[in-house]
Amino acid sequence: MKQFVLARQYCKETGFPVRAMMEKLIHCSLASEFCFRTSDTRTAPYYIDVEKFERMLDRGEFKEVLES
């Protein structure tokens, strides 16, 4: 898998829940560490750094966010 991928593409390829990604994780306080947008427009897609995201997920840093 590439280092940076669209958030929805990552969910599609790995089976990660799209709703959890798009409604919770991308808007949490930790989001700036693993995701970014290419522009400031409302419709700009979110890209995630796959290595950082999976490392944070394995460490359980998103546990509180996903449980809420």
- What's the confidence (pLDDT) of residue 31? 94
pLDDT at 2: 78
Q: Domain residue spans in the chain?
A: 4-67
Model pLDDT for residues 4-43, shown as the tens digit of each residue: 999 999 999 999 999 999 999 999 999 999 999 999 999 9
CA distance 18 to 32: 18
Between 21 and 1, name the one with better pLDDT: 21
Report the 10 Å Cβ neighbour count for 48. 24
Confidence of residue 50 (pLDDT cuts 50, 70, 90): very high
Whole-Å CA distances, 20 to 24, 36, 40: 5, 17, 22
Q: CB 49: neighbour CB atoms within 10 A?
A: 16
